[in-house]
């Protein structure tokens, strides 16, 4: 038993102690953090890696005061080697974090006090993402020490054309544009002719340009960085300005930029209209099939009959497909979304413009 205990003690005694490293000030330019605070940040990230025994900043300050050492403006190798000897440190870590144009440059050097040489060094350039400087320091330290680095994160911090994310576009709040919508829609082609036709011919004797009023409800299912994907539910009433009530509901799937408010969306729309079966004569006149058959009981049914809007018909649900695009403008805390839309149809395309508003906010 005594022999075993001695062996264990001997084994424990062979554990190699970690080299001591002191981190003084890190030169800082273009940041709110001063050199002392930047040094604290680098010291914290170095300590997390567990490669060294980090001299406590309070111990460093105590020894500096005791030895009357000036820790400020000590960034060169000669100064740091002298400091390291007086602080009884094996190594010294120094460097700088600078904002140069649209780049953040982090330069770190690990100096061996005993050999008075630069043991390791690393210079890394990043995008101008100041909120991510702590992550940049961690990655730079890892590269300097030869530790694994997440290349995906590195790309997002260094490549301007990488996919947008919460890393390279920080603080991108979700832009929510739920609120009232109003605008107008323009009917073209045969649809416009049917609307403007007199009631005796199945029209409503109205202008093919109609006012719309509704409300947009939206929900976001993905919000990553500067982009969000969302569903929009828009119930609308058309034609109130011409004593008409044409209800519809549109469901759009879209993508919106949280940074500039541009969006694109598309989806189905269902509306309730009076439809009737009929056909167009060679002269282009619309004929209601039931009336035509009553006037021509023995004639065969025309082969080119179709269902069209007709005030003499019955209510039916009509479907269409909507393509929309727009941009949100800001005035103080007010969002003002402006959208245009297009609805293709073989009987006449529709175009429209809508404007809305809501209180500005993100979630």
Q: Are strands 262-280 and 246-257 parallel, antiparallel or unpaired?
A: antiparallel
CATH code for the domain in which residue 238 is found: 2.40.160
Per-residue pLDDT of 306-339, as tens digits, reads: 888 888 888 999 999 999 999 998 877 788 999 9
Instruction: Kindly state whether residue 174 falls inside one of the protein's structural domains.
Output: no
Per-residue pLDDT of 160-180, as tens digits, reads: 655 455 555 555 556 778 999
Structure tokens that stand for 9 in this block? 């003690």
Per-residue pLDDT of 179-200, as tens digits, reads: 999 999 999 988 888 888 888 8
Q: What is the DSSP string of 242-266?
A: GT--EEEEEEEEEEEETTT-EEEEE
Look up tokens 């930047």; give the residue: 38
Q: How many domains does the chain have?
A: 2
Q: Are strands 91-100 and 27-29 parallel, antiparallel or unpaired?
A: parallel
Residue 131 — very low, low, confident or very high, per pLDDT cuts 50/70/90? confident
Q: What are phi and psi of 362, to 5 degrees?
A: -125, 165
Rounded distance, CA 211 to CA 302, Å?
36
What would you measure as the largest C-alpha separation in the chain, in angstroms?
121
Q: Please tell me which residue, 340 or 61, carries the higher pLDDT value.
A: 340
For residue 280, the enclosing domain spans 179-359
pLDDT score recorded for residue 120: 93
Q: Is the pLDDT of residue 7 over 60?
A: no
Residue 98 is inside which H or E element, if any?
strand 91-100
122-129 own/partner pairs: CB under 8 Å, 24+ apart: 124/158, 125/158, 126/157, 126/158, 127/102, 127/103, 127/157, 127/158, 127/159, 127/160, 127/168, 128/99, 128/101, 128/102, 128/103, 128/104, 129/104, 129/157, 129/167, 129/168, 129/170
232 shares its domain with 341: yes
Look up tokens 């062979």; give the residue: 14
Rounded distance, CA 148 to CA 228, Å?
32
Q: Please, where are the H alpha helices in the chain?
A: 2-13, 35-49, 57-66, 77-86, 133-145, 151-158, 189-196, 289-295
Rounded distance, CA 144 to CA 45, Å?
13
336 shares its domain with 228: yes
Instruction: Kindly state whether residue 8 falls inside one of the protein's structural domains.
Output: no
210 shares its domain with 152: no
Is there a contact between 237 and 249 (Cβ–Cβ < 8 Å)?
A: no
Rounded distance, CA 251 to CA 180, Å?
15
Number of Cα atoms under 13 Å in the Cβ half of residue 293: 10
Structure tokens that stand for 91 in this block? 């190594």
Rounded distance, CA 139 to CA 148, Å?
9
Q: What is the DSSP string of 121-184?
A: EEEEEEES-GGGHHHHHHHHHHHHHT----HHHHHHHH-TTSPP-TTTSTT-------EEEEEE
- End of a domain among 158, 187, 206? 158
Instruction: Kindly state whether residue 262 falls inside one of the protein's structural domains.
Output: yes
202 shares its domain with 298: yes
Coil vs helix vs strand at 343: strand
Beta bridge mates, 229: 222, 255
Query: How many Å separate Cα 360 from the centre of its chain?
Result: 17
Opening angle at CA 66, ends 65 and 68, nearest 5? 60
142 shares its domain with 212: no
142 shares its domain with 252: no
pLDDT score recorded for residue 64: 82
Residue 299 is inside which H or E element, if any?
none
> Rounded mean pLDDT of 240-254?
92
Is there a contact between 238 and 185 (Cβ–Cβ < 8 Å)?
A: yes
- End of a domain among 127, 158, 189? 158
Per-residue pLDDT of 20-41, as tens digits, reads: 999 998 999 888 889 989 999 9
The pTM (predicted TM-score) of the whole model is 0.54
Q: Are strands 358-359 and 334-343 parallel, antiparallel or unpaired?
A: antiparallel
Q: What are phi and psi of 32, to 5 degrees?
A: -70, -35
Q: Is the pLDDT of residue 225 over 70?
A: no
- End of a domain among 158, 190, 225? 158
Number of Cα atoms under 13 Å in the Cβ half of residue 222: 11
112 shares its domain with 183: no
Residue 119 — very low, low, confident or very high, per pLDDT cuts 50/70/90? very high
Is there a contact between 271 and 246 (Cβ–Cβ < 8 Å)?
A: yes
> Rounded mean pLDDT of 289-300?
86
């Amino acid at each position: 038993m005594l022999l075993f205990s001695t062996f264990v003690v001997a084994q424990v005694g062979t554990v190699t102690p970690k080299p001591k490293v002191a981190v003084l000030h890190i030169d800082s330019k273009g940041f709110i953090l001063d050199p002392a605070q930047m040094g604290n940040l680098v010291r914290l990230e170095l300590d997390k890696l567990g490669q060294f025994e980090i001299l406590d900043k309070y111990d460093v300050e105590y020894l500096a005061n005791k030895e009357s050492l000036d820790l400020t403006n000590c960034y060169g190798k000669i100064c740091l080697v002298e400091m390291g000897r007086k602080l009884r440190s094996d190594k010294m870590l120094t460097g700088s974090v600078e904002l140069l144009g649209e780049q953040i440059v982090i330069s770190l050097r690990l100096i061996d006090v005993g050999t008075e040489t630069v043991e390791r060094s690393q210079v890394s350039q990043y995008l101008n993402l100041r909120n991510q400087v702590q992550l940049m320091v961690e990655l730079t330290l890892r590269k300097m020490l030869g530790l694994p680095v997440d290349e995906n994160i590195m790309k997002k911090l260094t490549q301007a054309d990488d996919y947008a994310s919460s890393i390279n576009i920080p603080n991108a709040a979700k832009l929510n544009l739920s609120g009232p919508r109003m605008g107008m829609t323009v009917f073209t082609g045969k649809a416009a002719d049917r609307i403007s036709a007199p009631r005796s011919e199945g029209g409503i004797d109205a202008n093919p340009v109609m006012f719309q009023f509704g409300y947009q409800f939206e929900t976001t299912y993905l919000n990553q960085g500067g982009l969000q994907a969302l569903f929009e539910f828009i119930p609308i009433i058309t034609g109130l300005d011409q004593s008409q009530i044409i209800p519809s509901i549109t469901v759009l799937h879209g993508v919106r930029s949280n940074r500039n408010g541009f969006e694109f969306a598309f989806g189905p729309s269902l509306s309730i209209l009076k439809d009737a079966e009929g056909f167009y004569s060679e002269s282009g006149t619309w004929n209601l099939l039931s009336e035509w058959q009553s006037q021509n009981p023995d004639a065969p049914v025309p082969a080119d009959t179709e269902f069209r809007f007709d005030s003499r018909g019955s209510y039916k649900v009509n479907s269409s497909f909507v393509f929309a695009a727009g941009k949100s403008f800001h005035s103080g805390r007010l969002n003002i979304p402006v959208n245009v839309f297009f609805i293709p149809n073989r009987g006449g395309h529709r175009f429209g413009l809508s404007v809305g508003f809501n209180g500005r906010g993100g979630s």
